[in-house]
Amino acid sequence: MNVGMTLVSNLQPPISKTKTTCSMRLTDLSFLFDDNPNPMWIFELSTLRILMVNKAAIYKYGYDENDFLSMLISDLHPKEDQEKFDGYLNQNDVGQSTQGIIHGGIWKHKNKNGEIIYADITSQNVKLESRDCRLVVAADSTEKVRYQEEAIWAKSNLEALINNTEDQIWSVDKDTRYVYMNRAYRNQIAYLTGVEPREGDYSYLHSSFGDEMIERWNRYYARALVGERYTIINESADPLTQRILSFEVSFNPIYKIKGEITGVGCFARNITEWLATEKAIIKQNERLRQIASLTSHELRRPVASMLGLISVMDRVDFFNPDNKEVIEHLLIVGKEIDDVIRLIIDKTFMDDLSKNKYQSL
């Protein structure tokens, strides 16, 4: 039990269990108050003025005893929380006697330097010198709250990262029910099936899935649930265009600390355009090989003939009658070269690959 709670419990009246307050005997209980490791104070219900404070509160908050005894309990709260605190006081009618231990929850306090302290407040009404008062235990929860805030911040950032990608991420439990889905996955399944998936649904029992597809996805998850980590390419038809969409899907077992598999984490990315680009590159490479073959064989022969004819031409006396026959052969060779060039052009632009198609890749 919390040490502060022990003191609060000890302040309960030993004889009558029907009384709502108790009389504090400082000589008997001062060690539980003054030496308690939790910050503690006593304030008067009618004025909210602090009447007593222990060593832990003085150390934690930085105020000396005189500072505390000149303060109201509202002075411990930062300005931005004053309205909230006043509302709490009014709602709980703090001026009235209340039976039992009161759990006030976690509140922001400020120390003498203006730094924020998160205090988990527990209190109980007591009698101090015939005055109605309340004993407060302010357990320091600053580290706990900061850890929680950091965890929330990390989760929010992770959620933003996961939901701002077009890649699809989801996980299922051992019964293949959805545990988590990012926005991209929800949108894709809703587009393909007409129904947005929800946590707790069976991940492959979509209304538009046939028996064969259901059985296939059942096998996929079963492999991962026995520890296999692997990747597949899954194809499905676009419901509007009937175009085949290809997705690379990886399946990863999810383990507990002790090694027990509790589910499957899945990651899918649309590789439809990537596959189309890869096919186009393969076709282009094949055309380049054909062009290289035409260049090295079909074009080399007429070029060699042309060079041979030029070498026998009379370049000193251009009007030599023998040059006429050479020129006629050059014309024939030139036509052969032109035919080969046209064939190369046809091979380069085969399959009617238009400019727009290249842009879509």
DSSP calls for 115-132: -EEEEEEEEEEEEETTEE
Which H or E element spans position 270? strand 261-270
Q: For residue 315, give the DSSP letter.
A: S
Backbone angles phi, psi at 209, to 5 degrees: -85, 130
3-state secondary structure of 44: strand
User: Residue 132 corresponds to which tokens in the numbers above?
Assistant: 């109605």
**Separation CA 171–CA 177 (nearest Å):** 8
Q: Is the dihedral of CA 96, 97, 100, 106 positive or negative?
A: positive
- Lowest average pLDDT, out of 10-14, 214-218, 315-319, goes to 10-14
Q: pLDDT value at position 203?
A: 84
DSSP conformation class of 295: I
Nearest residue to 63 (alpha-carbon basis) of 81, 48, 74, 75: 75
How far is the CA of 249 from the CAs of 160, 234, 270, 299, in angstroms? 22, 7, 9, 48
Per-residue pLDDT tens digits for 52-86: 999 999 999 999 999 999 999 999 999 999 999 99
More confident residue, 37 or 24: 37
Task: Quickly state the pLDDT bin for 308 (edges 50, 70, 90).
Answer: confident
Lowest mean pLDDT among 4-13, 43-52, 76-85, 94-103: 4-13
Per-residue pLDDT tens digits for 114-153: 999 999 999 999 888 888 999 999 999 999 999 998 888 8
How far is 8 from 12, CA to CA, in rounded Å? 7
| Alpha-carbon gap, residue 245 to 242, rounded angstroms | 9
pLDDT of residue 19: 41
Amino acid letter, 293? S
Mean pLDDT of all residues belonging to the chain = 82
Is the pLDDT at 92 greater than 80, yes or no? no
- Provide the β-strand partners of residue 270: 247
Q: How does residue 159 score in pLDDT terms, banded at 50, 70 and 90?
A: confident
- Give the pLDDT confidence score for residue 354 in this predicted structure: 45
Residue 144 is inside which H or E element, if any? Answer: helix 142-163
What tens digit of pLDDT does each residue of 289-300 get? 877 776 777 777
pLDDT computed for residue 94 by the predictor: 67
Percent of the chain with pLDDT over 90: 39
Query: What stretch of H or E contains 246?
Result: strand 244-255
Task: Give long-range contacts, CB 8 A cutoff, 24+ apart: 27-36.
Answer: 32/3, 32/6, 32/7, 33/7, 36/3, 36/4, 36/7, 36/137
Bridge partners (DSSP) of residue 178 are 172
Across 220-241, average pLDDT: 91
Structure tokens at 229: 């980590």
Q: Model-level pTM? A: 0.49
Do the strands 261-270 and 168-173 form a parallel or antiparallel pair, or are they unpaired?
Answer: antiparallel
Residue-level pLDDT at 355 = 43
